[in-house]
């Protein structure tokens, strides 16, 4: 499930980056894509049959680690749904910006958990994949907070490019886990 989430959130960030960089002429296209991908992430996180961890599967604290990963998944899925609704129905950007601040803090806390415990339990590959992925996601959320909530106009390009490159990196990590290059 971690792999599917990383690929889907990478797609959400990639499509949102196109909107921020001015490559979509109509924001509703990005909104619809983000909304659909967010709903898919929520359905994947709440469905017990779909949530089979690919990386977090051999530790005694597997349930705790899976819960931390679900926190990341659900918070980013809600971000995708809120961002999609904002682009689709032209809501105010500041609300999703303040939510990005919450996501930045929660994802960073999850990254600290992964960085602290996963290397010993699962090895370097899993440790780098999940710690690095959540670090990139927390940085993107922080940039998004400063761009949308505080309305720094110069942060639009920084946020757009970080979403484009960071979303691609997160998707590549997810694809590497999905194809068992990282296990």
Q: What is the DSSP letter of 107?
A: H
d(CA 156, CA 127): 31
Nearest to 45 by CA among 78, 82, 84, 11: 78
pLDDT, residue 57, reads 64
* pLDDT tens, position by position, 139-155: 999 999 999 888 787 88
Q: Where are the domains of the chain?
A: 2-50+59-178
Annotation: CATH topology of 2-50+59-178: 1.25.40
Other C-beta atoms closer than 10 Å to the C-beta of 72 total: 27
Q: What is the DSSP letter of 50?
A: T
Average pLDDT (116-130) is: 82
d(CA 106, CA 118): 18
pLDDT, residue 101, reads 92
| Among 2-6, 31-35, 106-110, 122-126, the least confident range | 122-126
Which CA distances in Å does 93 have to 10, 136, 151?
21, 22, 9
64-68: list long-range contacts, CB under 8 Å, 24+ apart. 65/117, 65/118, 65/121, 68/110, 68/113, 68/114
* pLDDT tens, position by position, 76-117: 999 999 989 988 888 888 888 899 999 999 999 999 998 998
pLDDT band at 50 (very low <50, low <70, confident <90, very high): low
pLDDT, residue 127, reads 84
pLDDT band at 60 (very low <50, low <70, confident <90, very high): low
Residue 121 scores a pLDDT above 90: no
Q: What is the DSSP letter of 91?
A: -
């Amino acid at each position: 499930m971690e792999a599917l989430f990383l690929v889907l959130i990478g797609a959400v960030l990639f499509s949102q980056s196109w909107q921020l960089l001015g490559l979509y002429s109509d924001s509703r296209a990005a909104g619809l894509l983000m909304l659909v991908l967010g709903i898919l992430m929520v359905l994947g996180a709440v469905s017990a049959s779909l949530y089979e961890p690919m990386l977090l599967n051999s530790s005694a604290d597997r349930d705790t680690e899976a819960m931390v990963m679900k926190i990341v998944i659900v918070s980013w899925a809600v971000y995708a749904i809120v961002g999609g609704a904002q682009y689709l129905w032209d809501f105010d950007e500041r609300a999703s910006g303040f939510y990005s601040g919450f996501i930045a803090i929660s994802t960073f806390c999850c990254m600290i958990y992964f960085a602290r415990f996963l290397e010993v339990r699962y090895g370097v590959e899993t440790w780098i994949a999940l710690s690095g992925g959540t670090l990139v996601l927390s940085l993107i959320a922080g940039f998004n907070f400063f761009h949308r909530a505080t309305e720094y106009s110069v942060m639009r390009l920084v946020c757009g490019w970080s979403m484009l490159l960071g979303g691609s990196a997160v998707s590549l990590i997810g694809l590497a886990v999905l194809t068992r290059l990282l296990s």
